[in-house]
Structure 1
Amino acid sequence: MTWVLWAVLSAVFAAGTAVLAKVGVEGVDSNLATAVRTSVIVVFTWAIAIGLGKHGGLGLIGRRSWVFLVLSGVCTGLSWLCYFRALQMGEASRVAPVDKLSVVLVILFAAAFLGERLTWMKAVGGVLIAAGAVVLALA
């Protein structure tokens, strides 16, 4: 499978996350709801890693990778806490597009911190994503 197919599957599952979470947070503290979801993710992903025999590589992860994976995990956790709170307060069809402004930020951060080229096509795409998010959020 190509990266494009994996990315499309990610988008499909992310859409499911928004709709299912919106129903799930109703009448539940958003932080508790995030903890429940995260616990499911922990069990699910470790089951996959163990089931595929990938857990043996744990000791091979270098210090630098550990630092960045932990920081990424902290960012993920904070993102999910904020996302669930936003879903609890707003409409899923408005919250999700604003959340996807992360795509625009990734384009900018990748250029600034990873040295990825910021082409005019990426810039136009980023502007269109941002404009679409604003239109959907205000709809």
Structure 2
Amino acid sequence: MRSVVLSWQLWALLSAGFAALTAIFAKVGVGGINPDFATLLRTLVVVALLAVLVTATHQWQSPGSLSGRSVVFLVLSGLATGASWLCYFRALKLGDAARVAPLDKLSVVLVAVFGVLFLGERLSAVNWAGVALIAAGVVLLALR
């Protein structure tokens, strides 16, 4: 059982499930609210949840124990996340969740390309075929 809990596949599948719920809940929630304000409310909930989790599991770390490189890249990641969420909520306000969410998942294709270009990761021919199929699926799901 412990190996399942430590499996990246389990956590990735849970992430996908929660991301799907995020899209549905956000589409309903953003209905009568400005999308930027909706993003702020969502972010406050995320911050509160994480503060409770980190406190309950005694995972707080001293800022001095963090490397400058880690801090810079986490700040950049936070800025990218904020921009992504703002764009996502605006898209949900304007479009159908069933079309917005798949197009948002084009990020899977971009992560594969960026991972190869910037992180030196390697993908096999089968992996690239999967990336191409995801891209094709995104296009088909986004069509009217």
Please indicate the TM-score interval, normalised by the length of the shorter structure: over 0.9
Identity %: 55
- Deviation, 1:58, is 4.0
For residue 38 of structure 1, the aligned residue among 40, 43, 59 is 43
- Deviation, 1:61, is 1.2
Query: TM-score, normalised to structure 1's length?
Result: 0.97
- Deviation, 1:56, is 3.0
8 Å Cα contact 1:107-1:122 kept in structure 2? no
CA distance in 2, matches of 1:41, 1:64: 24
For residue 113 of structure 1, the aligned residue among 115, 118, 121 is 118
Unaligned runs of 5+ in 1: none
Query: TM-score, normalised to structure 2's length?
Result: 0.94
- The one-letter code sitting in structure 1 at the alignment partner of 2:96 is E
For residue 52 of structure 2, the aligned residue among 42, 47, 50 is 47
Structure 2 residue aligned with 1:9? 14
For residue 122 of structure 1, the aligned residue among 119, 127, 140 is 127
- The one-letter code sitting in structure 1 at the alignment partner of 2:35 is S
Structure 2 residue aligned with 1:86? 91
For residue 29 of structure 1, the aligned residue among 34, 40, 60 is 34
- Deviation, 1:59, is 3.2
